[in-house]
């Protein structure tokens, strides 16, 4: 995959020596810029916009998120707890499957609980009824697989053959919607408006007759709304049209779009040597700190990379031979102690870190590019590693 990072933005003037290494630095101004764009879409379309916590759950910004968005969406019990502890507004929870033991708390915490198949709703009917008898109020949703592939990479395509994500729309019958308040469709990944338009064009005729009994439609995430080339006006028009034509409250739940180009991961060169090409070891690990580099895979953009010079292979401090971030061009091979930064690391990196090899977790800092105020929000110590083991 290709990085969609637009460039360093305000980080170009951030002194990388101001934070410990490694460290995620998130620019509150950039997050607010993204949130304001998403709010404008929600307001313009009459749609509700939720932050997908799986992408970006830097909860020290929860109050900021609440200034712009309608709430958050969670992927299971722990994100739902985080949502209720720190975030505000509406909470939708969707998981491909639930554990019987977790569901009562999920029902209590959430405003909407979305199931992956009608059978699941039937299997847990007793828990749903018991929660309602206790006076809890929540909607029930059903995730559909639109069976219309638009994702560019199979790994990120919930419509791939054999997908476990959502109930295939070709199997949907009106009786499956008994007790269901809304439908959920998520089939995009880092995409513009056109794929959404095509998915809806293929789905609408199949659903048309079943929509009148429903309250809402959630069109999931994967909308790269805060990218400069996203057709926001067309999105607003489509969402408003869906709401009006079918009498539905429309939701979207972007994650990445909230934190796009809003954070960097700062690291330090620990050593360099020659082995067919210049090689550098850094305290940033692909496998521990930016696992999508290996999983997606993709090559993150590096701040200040030159067009011409010496290509240096940069990798992490772990034992994994494939813990390689990529080859990057410098004026000369960087010396130990040189600070570097990878762009667009606020989403899907901070939420995925791990301590494989006992590699320390990056600190987390919040910067305000307008005021230049910098706050070290969190530093992790040895205990974080030790206490996940026994």
Ligand X SMILES: Cc1ncc(COP(=O)(O)O)c(C=O)c1O
> Which listed range, 4-12, 49-57, 275-283, 366-374, lies at the site for ligand X (CB under 6 A)?
49-57
CA distance 104 to 114: 14
Give residues 186-205 in contact with ligand X (rule: CB under 6 A). Answer: 186, 189
**Closer CB to ligand X, 19 or 61, in the complex:** 61
* Residue 229 zone, left/alpha/beta (φ > 0; ψ -120 to 50; rest): alpha
167 touching ligand X, by CB under 6 A: no
CB 86 within 8 A of CB 59: yes
222 touching ligand X, by CB under 6 A: yes
- In the list 257, 262, 346, 366, the residue contacting ligand X (rule: CB under 6 A) is 257
> Which listed range, 41-49, 105-113, 199-207, 253-261, lies at the site for ligand X (CB under 6 A)?
253-261
227 touching ligand X, by CB under 6 A: no
254 touching ligand X, by CB under 6 A: yes
Query: How near is the Cβ of 206 to ligand X at its closest, in Å?
Result: 20
293 touching ligand X, by CB under 6 A: no
**Closer CB to ligand X, 11 or 230, in the complex:** 230
CB 251 within 8 A of CB 239: no
Q: What are phi and psi of 2, to 5 degrees?
A: -100, 140
In the chain, % helix, strand, coil (3-state, to 5) comes to 35, 25, 40
CB 46 within 8 A of CB 25: no
Size of the site for ligand X (CB under 6 A): 14
**Closer CB to ligand X, 27 or 253, in the complex:** 253
Q: Which residues contact 50 (CB under 8 A, 6 or more apart)?
A: 69, 70, 71, 72, 73, 90, 92, 251, 252, 253
Q: What residues pair up with 343 in beta bridges, in sequence order?
A: 264
> Which listed range, 2-10, 12-20, 47-55, 307-315, lies at the site for ligand X (CB under 6 A)?
47-55
Rounded to the nearest angstrom, the gap between the alpha carbon of residue 80 and the centroid of all alpha carbons in its chain is: 15
**Closer CB to ligand X, 220 or 316, in the complex:** 220
CA distance 347 to 67: 20
Q: Which residues contact 126 (CB under 8 A, 6 or more apart)?
A: none
Site string for ligand X, 327-366 (x = CB under 6 A): ----------------------------------------
CA distance 118 to 259: 34
68 touching ligand X, by CB under 6 A: no
256 touching ligand X, by CB under 6 A: yes
- In the list 23, 25, 37, 52, the residue contacting ligand X (rule: CB under 6 A) is 52
Site of interaction with ligand X (CB under 6 A): 52, 54-55, 94, 186, 189, 220-222, 253-257
């Amino acid at each position: 995959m290709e990085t969609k990072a637009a460039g360093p933005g305000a980080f170009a003037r951030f002194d990388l020596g101001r934070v410990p290494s490694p460290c995620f630095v998130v620019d509150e101004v950039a997050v607010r810029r993204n949130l304001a764009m998403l709010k404008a879409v929600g307001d313009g379309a009459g749609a509700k916009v939720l932050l997908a916590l799986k992408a970006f759950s830097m909860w020290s910004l929860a109050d900021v998120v609440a200034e712009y968005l309608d709430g958050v969406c969670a992927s299971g019990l722990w994100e739902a707890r985080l949502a209720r502890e720190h975030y505000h507004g509406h909470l939708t929870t969707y998981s491909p499957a639930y554990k019987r033991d977790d569901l009562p708390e999920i029902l209590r915490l959430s405003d909407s609980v979305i199931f992956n198949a009608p059978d699941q709703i039937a299997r847990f009917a007793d828990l749903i009824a018991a929660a309602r008898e206790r006076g809890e109020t929540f909607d029930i949703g059903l995730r559909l697989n639109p069976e219309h592939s638009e994702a560019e990479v199979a790994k990120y395509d919930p419509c791939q053959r054999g997908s476990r994500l959502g109930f295939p729309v070709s199997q949907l019958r009106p009786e499956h919607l008994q007790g269901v308040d809304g439908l959920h469709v998520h089939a995009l990944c880092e995409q513009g408006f056109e794929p959404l338009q095509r998915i809806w064009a293929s789905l609408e005729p199949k659903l048309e007759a079943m929509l009148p009994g429903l309250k809402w439609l959630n069109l999931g995430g994967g909308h790269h709304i805060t990218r400069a080339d996203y057709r926001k006006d067309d999105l607003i028009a489509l969402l408003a049209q869906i709401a009006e034509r079918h009498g539905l409250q429309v939701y979207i739940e972007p994650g990445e779009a909230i934190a796009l180009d809003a954070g960097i991961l700062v690291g330090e060169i620990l050593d360099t040597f020659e082995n067919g090409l210049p090689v550098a070891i850094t305290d940033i690990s692909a496998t521990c700190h930016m696992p999508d580099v290996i999983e997606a895979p993709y090559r993150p953009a590096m701040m200040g990379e030159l067009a011409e010079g010496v290509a240096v292979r940069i990798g992490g401090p772990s034992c994994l031979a494939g813990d390689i971030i990529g080859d990057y061009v410098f004026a000369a091979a960087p010396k130990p102690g040189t600070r570097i930064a990878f762009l667009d690391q606020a989403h899907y990196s901070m939420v995925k870190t791990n301590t494989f090899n006992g590699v320390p977790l990056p600190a987390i800092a919040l910067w305000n590019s307008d005021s230049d105020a910098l706050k070290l929000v969190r530093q992790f110590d040895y205990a974080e590693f030790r206490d996940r083991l026994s």
